[in-house]
């Protein structure tokens, strides 16, 4: 088994999608997702923001508040793929065609 980096996990299978294919999403929901990603970039771009575990933990929060809460809202509610993507793309997602068969490095067992 080979472990991969996060870029390989995110980019896996995207070459199966026509670059000219478009989707429709509410501007308000898209801005929410944009702002969530932007907040993660704003926090993590500056290493001084995350020097300690406590600082990262406070930012990430949990499923009720903080960064993880925002990610879950964006992923499951604002950007629900079954509401946005065409049927063929939804089927590809459901069939795991965008899931890298090799796990990410952070799945590697710890010593």
Note the pLDDT tens digit of each residue in 39-67: 999 999 999 999 999 999 999 999 999 99
104: helix, strand or coil: strand
Domain ranges of the chain: 6-14+25-107
C-alpha separations of 13 from 8, 17, 50, 105, 107 in Å: 9, 8, 32, 18, 20
Q: Please give the model's pTM, rounded to 2 decimal places.
A: 0.86
Task: Tokens for 97, please give them.
Answer: 């065609």
Residue 111, pLDDT > 90, answer no
The per-residue pLDDT for range 66-103, each reduced to its tens digit, is 999 999 999 999 999 999 999 999 999 999 999 999 99
Task: Tokens for 84, please give them.
Answer: 């946005």
* Nearest-angstrom CA–CA distance, 70 and 48: 22
Contact 4, 103 (CB under 8 A): yes
Mean pLDDT of 11-26: 95
Task: Tokens for 64, please give them.
Answer: 């009720």
Give the mean pLDDT of the chain: 96
């Amino acid at each position: 088994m080979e472990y991969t980096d996060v870029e390989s996990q995110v980019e896996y299978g995207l070459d199966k999608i026509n670059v000219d294919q478009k989707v429709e999403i509410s501007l308000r929901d898209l801005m929410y997702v944009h702002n969530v990603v932007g907040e993660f970039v704003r926090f993590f771009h500056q290493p001084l923001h995350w020097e300690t575990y406590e600082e990262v933990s406070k930012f990430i929060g949990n499923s009720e508040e903080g960064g993880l809460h925002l990610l879950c809202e964006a992923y499951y509610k604002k950007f629900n793929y079954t509401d946005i993507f065409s049927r063929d793309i939804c089927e590809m997602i459901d069939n795991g065609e965008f899931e890298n068969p090799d796990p990410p490095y952070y799945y590697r067992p710890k010593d």
